[in-house]
Amino acid sequence: MPVTWHAGDGTTRSRKRSEGRCCPRTVFVHAPIVVVLLAGGDSSRRLSLLQAQLQASPMADEEAAARAAAAHHAKQKAEAGELTIFDKIISKEIPSKIVYEDDDVLAFRDVSPQGPVHIILIPKDRDGLTQLSKAEDRHEKILGHLMVTAAKVARQEKLDKGFRLVVNDGPDGCQSVYHIHLHLIGGRQMKWPPG
């Protein structure tokens, strides 16, 4: 069953559950599982339905995306200076829906949104920050700038009731693009614990 929501730009969006790719999207999994557990009559059928739902879950997709990135040595390639898809978004070689830009930071809508608002914030100059765990003292200014920009963009998007900021780091963190980025997700009630 597709997930549908009203996007911040006034349009209605939907996607198949299997299209999700990011850790925070785990939250979509919980409600349908409860439905399966309550609705099924036969226990083995309930289990197979549950397994099917888990296999099709966004979490599984996100893990697959992180595994694919690992298999293609995306981390090592980025560390060696190879361009990522985010470099191509910065250079405008690949189009994106930009919501904020200044000399140092770019913010654009995630192509696979996990809520009514899902924005990616990146430094224009990666400066070795393929992932947060590479952070050094010299990165304090840009990391602070990213956080302050996230708050500005959240206000711009009218996320008055709150939002979530996510940084995925490395394979265990389900990182798939090795150019440090913040996920700003809002417009719906978040769940805890995250996946």
User: Which positions lie near ligand AMP, rule CB under 6 A?
Assistant: 21-22, 85, 94, 96, 108, 110-112, 120, 168, 174-177
Beta carbon of residue 35, minimum distance to ligand AMP (angstroms, whole number): 26
Tell the residue number behind the tokens 């910065």, with chain if given. 90
Nearer to ligand AMP, 114 or 159 (CB): 114
Beta carbon of residue 172, minimum distance to ligand AMP (angstroms, whole number): 12
Determine contact, residues 13/113, Cβ cutoff 8 Å. Answer: yes
Beta carbon of residue 185, minimum distance to ligand AMP (angstroms, whole number): 10
Nearer to ligand AMP, 53 or 112 (CB): 112
CA distance 43 to 23: 29
Q: Is 12 left (phi over 0), alpha (psi -120 to 50) or beta?
A: beta
Nearer to ligand AMP, 22 or 27 (CB): 22
Nearer to ligand AMP, 63 or 104 (CB): 63
Is 181 catalytic? The answer is yes
Four-CA torsion 16, 171, 191, 29, nearest 10 degrees: 30
Catalytically annotated residue among 118, 179, 181, 183: 181
Number of other residues whose CB lies within 10 A of the CB of residue 98: 13
Beta carbon of residue 101, minimum distance to ligand AMP (angstroms, whole number): 14
Q: How many CA atoms lie within 13 A of 13 on its CB side?
A: 17
CA distance 150 to 157: 10
**Which residues are catalytically annotated?**
181
